[in-house]
Amino acid sequence: MSDGIVPAPQQKLRNLIRYGFINLGILPFLLVGSILFFGLQEERFLSSLNLFNVARHSTFLIIIAMGQMVVLLTAGLDLSVGAIVGFAGVVTGLVLQSILGANPEAFAMAVPVAVLCGVLAGMLVGSVNGFGVAILGVPPFMMTLGTMTSLVGISLSFTSGLPITGIPDRYMELLGYGRILGILPAIWITGILFVLVWLLLNQTTVGRYFYSVGSNIRASQLSGINTVKQLMLAYIFSGAMAGLTGVLFVARTGSAEALNGSNYSLQSVAACVIGGVSLFGGSGKVRDVLLGAIFITLLTNGMNLTRVESYVQQIVLGLVLILALVADQIRTKMLS
């Protein structure tokens, strides 16, 4: 074989990998690599029970990441989603306790009211973020960082720093560990939300405007798009998704506390970035965000099963995020 000549099979493989990377990004390679690695390291990893646990645990991150994606599409950022999860959970728990404390037989009324209050609490925080970003012109990073910090304090003051317990078993069964056709309610809710978000972003004018605002906000303004409205809607939507996650989190754990969703702020951004959503706005697919959230859950699950220390897990997640950012930059150059 002459020097510098690549055999035909190897060249075909390289071309296939290059084609896959350009069209799909790095995420499929990360998914396949993690499944192969942990599958060989730990036989329990590919068991039906563990895959069920991964699906169950990934629901919260998927819901929050879809909300985060809409904000990122507008070239924004929402660091407050984790704090909203805790805040909405606290509101839900307090409303349940208040209604059932006054009338223990009012479960049929208490649940929808508590769920609605939790989601509305998230939307309220989202509207505050949107007002600061869209109308006051505060940079998204600083606005949502400030909201996150304040919201944790508010949640702690509501609960005096203690978790809210005594969540009714019927509530936890209804939205937590019950089954609908053999499937957990959270999985059903996540699937329905995924379809709705896909339709929003791909089949509606509002969804197309999110992409437009993120691609070029000045051009969007000149074309007649109400950019203030779009930015407000993005943050309110993100707040609603985080608020719903807080409601479901209470049903899963049976308690509510301020720090319940503390890990989700950065994880939701990581799921979006690994899924190919641009931090500069205007680019991304909800399908890939779903896969990005599943990948992070798989990676964490695999490291737990192989007994990787928690601090090492943080290092690995950080390195994967950096790798995804670098790969995205390389892919962008290859496409241009």
Query: How many beta carbons lie within 10 A of that of residue 49, not counting itself?
Result: 8
- What's the pLDDT tens digit per position in 153-165? 999 999 888 888 8
Residue 336 confidence class, pLDDT cut points 50, 70, 90: low
Residue that wins the pLDDT comparison between 52 and 199: 199
- What's the pLDDT tens digit per position in 4-30? 555 666 776 676 666 666 666 778 888
Sign of the four-CA dihedral 27, 196, 130, 246: negative
- What's the pLDDT tens digit per position in 240-278? 999 999 999 999 988 888 888 888 998 999 899 888 888
Strand partners for 256:
164
Residue 1 pLDDT: 47
Domain locations in the chain?
28-335
Residue 104 pLDDT: 86
- What's the pLDDT tens digit per position in 270-309? 899 888 888 888 888 999 999 999 999 999 999 999 998 8
Read off the pTM: 0.90
Asked whether the beta carbons of 211 and 223 are under 8 A apart, the reply is no
The phi and psi torsions of 75 (rounded to 5 degrees) equal 65, 30
273-308 CB burial, b ≥16 within 10 A, e <16 = bbbbbbeebbbbbbebbbbbbbbbbbbbbbbebeee
Q: Rounded mean pLDDT of 215-223?
A: 92
- What's the pLDDT tens digit per position in 64-108? 999 999 999 999 999 999 999 999 999 999 999 999 888 888 888
> Closest Cα to residue 185, out of 199, 198, 174?
174
Q: Rounded mean pLDDT of 306-329?
A: 84
In three-state form (DSSP H/G/I as H, E/B as E, the rest C), the secondary structure along the chain is CCCCCCCHHHHHHHHHHHHHHHHHCCHHHHHHHHHHHHHHHCHHHHCHHHHHHHHHHHHHHHHHHHHHHHHHHCCCCCCCHHHHHHHHHHHHHHHHHHHHHHCCCCHHHHHHHHHHHHHHHHHHHHHHHHHHHHHCCCCHHHHHHHHHHHHHHHHHHHHCCCCECCCCHHHHHHHHHCCECCECHHHHHHHHHHHHHHHHHHHCHHHHHHHHHHHCHHHHHHCCCCHHHHHHHHHHHHHHHHHHHHHHHHHHHCCECCCCCCCHHHHHHHHHHHCCCCCCCCCCCHHHHHHHHHHHHHHHHHHHHCCCCHHHHHHHHHHHHHHHHHHHHHHHHHHC
Residue 19 pLDDT: 63
- Greatest mean pLDDT among 4-13, 214-223, 230-239, 284-293 lies in 230-239
**How many residues in total does the chain contain?**
336
